[in-house]
Structures are given as C-alpha cells and as structure tokens.
C-alpha cells in the first residue's frame, strides 16, 4: 500500500508543511527576541493582503496572524514543489545526504533572490518589516532545513 508521501504531491505537501512550520517557528522566535512579540513577524507576512499596517500589529489575530501563517505555508509549499521535483528523488535510502541538502540550499537561495530582488515590494515576505538581517538569515536557514527534512526523515523510517 502506498503511503501519502510516496507520490510527488504527497512529498510536496509534506515538505511544504514542514518547511512552513520551521520558518514560522524561526520567525516567531526571532520576533519575540527582536520585537517582543511571537506574532509580529507572522502578522507582517500578511502585508501583501492588508498593507503595511499588518506589520505594526504585535498581537495574534485571525486577520493578520492566520493570514500570515497561511501565506507562509503556501509559499513554503511552492518552494517545496520545486525542491521535490528537482531534488526529492535524491533523498531516498542509499543516496548521499549531500545532494538533497545542497538542493535545499540552492532552492532556498532561489527563494531569497525571488523574495527580495524579483518580486514587487508588496509581495516580499514581510519579515524584513519587523526583523533584522540576521533573523532573515535564520528564517531562510530554517526553510532549507524544512525542505530537506522530509527526505531525510523518510530515509530513516522503515517502509
């Protein structure tokens, strides 16, 4: 019987969920440290929908925080689709760890360039509205870890 993560769509959804959650966690922890609010960076993501006033809110809310979290997971799933298509097959048992990890780093670098150099300012992730460059680096590092995690976990799990 085929598990959900055995097909490409299952892998994309799994990787996207993991990457979305790892980046949200990294952003929230950085937000607490830098802005005094776990929700502030997640709220800032929703600036694409609600304008820059979203980045001014520190409290968790359905309007800003849930929109930001959903947008973050959707974005991570987009990047997971690219990762899984290009590098997901290389993360199986017996394969080198280097290729999927470097693949995750390459896709993450593409995400950063796209997010901050190719899309209009209104469509940037919004983290930059509340967090330092150091925290942005940690968030993108969390994206790379999240992208590679599904394959690395599945290589250790019994079939």
Range of the domain at 39: 16-154
7 within some domain:
no
Cα distances from 71 to residues 42, 97, 101, in angstroms, run 9, 30, 24
141 within some domain:
yes
The torsion angles phi and psi of 43, rounded to 5 degrees, stand at -60, -40
3 within some domain:
no
9 within some domain:
no
Model confidence pLDDT, tens digit, residues 19-73: 999 999 999 999 999 999 999 999 999 999 999 999 999 999 999 999 999 999 9
Query: Count of domains in the chain?
Result: 1
What is the distance between the terminal CA atoms of the chain, rounded to a whole angstrom? Answer: 10
115 within some domain:
yes
pLDDT surpassing 90 at residue 153:
no
32 within some domain:
yes
Cα distances from 122 to residues 34, 48, 52, in angstroms, run 23, 5, 9
Cα distances from 60 to residues 38, 41, 89, 107, in angstroms, run 8, 10, 38, 30
State pTM to two decimals: 0.90
4 within some domain:
no
Model confidence pLDDT, tens digit, residues 94-149: 567 888 999 999 999 999 999 999 999 999 999 999 999 999 999 999 999 999 99
84 within some domain:
yes
Q: Which of 111, 42, 51, 27 is CA-nearest to residue 76?
A: 111
């Amino acid at each position: 019987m085929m598990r959900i993560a055995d097909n490409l769509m299952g892998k994309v959804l799994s990787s996207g969920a993991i990457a979305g959650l790892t980046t949200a966690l990294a952003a929230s922890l950085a937000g607490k440290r830098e802005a005094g609010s776990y929700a502030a960076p997640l709220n800032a993501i929703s600036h694409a929908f609600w304008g820059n006033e979203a980045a001014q809110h520190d409290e968790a809310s359905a309007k800003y925080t849930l929109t930001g979290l959903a947008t973050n997971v959707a974005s991570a799933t987009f990047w997971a689709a690219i990762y899984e298509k290009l590098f997901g097959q290389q993360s199986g048992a017996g394969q080198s760890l280097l290729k999927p990890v470097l693949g995750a780093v390459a896709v993450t670098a593409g995400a950063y360039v796209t997010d901050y150099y190719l899309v209009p300012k209104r469509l940037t992730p919004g983290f930059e509205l509340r967090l330092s460059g150091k925290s942005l680096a940690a968030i993108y590092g969390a994206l790379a870890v999240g992208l590679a995690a599904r394959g690395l976990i599945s290589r250790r799990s019994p079939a």
